Chains A and B, each alone.
Chain A
Amino acid sequence: GENVEQHPSTLSVQEGDSAVIKCTYSDSASNYFPWYKQELGKRPQLIIDIRSNVGEKKDQRIAVTLNKTAKHFSLHITETQPEDSAVYFCAASKAYRGTDKLIFGTGTRLQVFP
């Protein structure tokens, strides 16, 4: 069935360093790949997304890359800050008609130490 794998499960970095989280999806028909940030006890918040017709997208300190051939996509956070500490989830969907369900990865707990 549809599956999204995410690595690493935990990631600890020093403030100012970069963080990279990687995801692999199984369904080659997937065409939409959002990333969500979830702080403890809060709702998932969309931070960036990418569609299959684009290879890379950047928004300030956050960037996402997509390799359709290899079926993987990555989140890059540069110049990390303590407030970046949270659980990050990748997801994939096939949004051809209607918004298809999101299949989430298992999450990465990012800790940024000052």
Chain B
Amino acid sequence: EPEVTQTPSHQVTQMGQEVILRCVPISNHLYFYWYRQILGQKVEFLVSFYNNEISEKSEIFDDQFSVERPDGSNFTLKIRSTKLEDSAMYFCASSRTGGSNEKLFFGSGTQLSVL
């Protein structure tokens, strides 16, 4: 079964540094998402992306965050200047098309630790 893949699985960075989290969505999927999960808490929506632009973003997704689809396969999340509270598991997700019949598939996550 096709899977959403994410790299790296773990990322350790110093506060104030930039990080880029990478995702390869399932190949025929058109809608892409980033979610995050702080340890022991629920999964939270960050941003959705379709047709090379952001469809929706949450209040968490401030000016320090950006997303990009640099080529036909990758989908990236950049955090410009990391803060301690950015430490979390970041999940990429994708779905095939829009509409109420489509399921969301999650990647295996990138554990970001900001020191």
Chain A residues within 8 Å of B, Cβ to Cβ: 31-32, 34, 36, 42-46, 49, 51, 89, 91, 95-107
Interface centre among B45, B58, B109, by most chain A C-beta atoms within 10 angstroms, is B45
Is A43's CB under 8 angstroms from B42's CB?
Answer: no
Q: Give min CB distance, A93 to chain B, whole Å.
A: 9
Cβ-based interface call for B75 (8 A): no
Total contacting residues, chain B, CB less than 8 A:
26
Closest CB pairs A-B (n = 9): A98-B98, A95-B100, A101-B45, A43-B106, A104-B43, A104-B42, A99-B95, A106-B42, A43-B108
Contacts of A97 in B (CB 8 A): 98-99
Instruction: List the count of A-B residue pairs having beta carbons below 8 Å apart.
Output: 63
Contacts of B91 in A (CB 8 A): 43-44
Over the window 26-63 of chain B, the binary record of Cβ atoms lying under 8 Å from chain A Cβ atoms (1 yes, 0 no) is 00000101010000011111001010000110100000
Is B100's CB under 8 angstroms from A51's CB?
Answer: yes
Q: Which residue of A lies closest to B55 (CB)?
A: A98
Known contacts: A95-B100, A98-B50, A99-B99. The answer to whether A43 contacts B107 by CB under 8 A is: yes
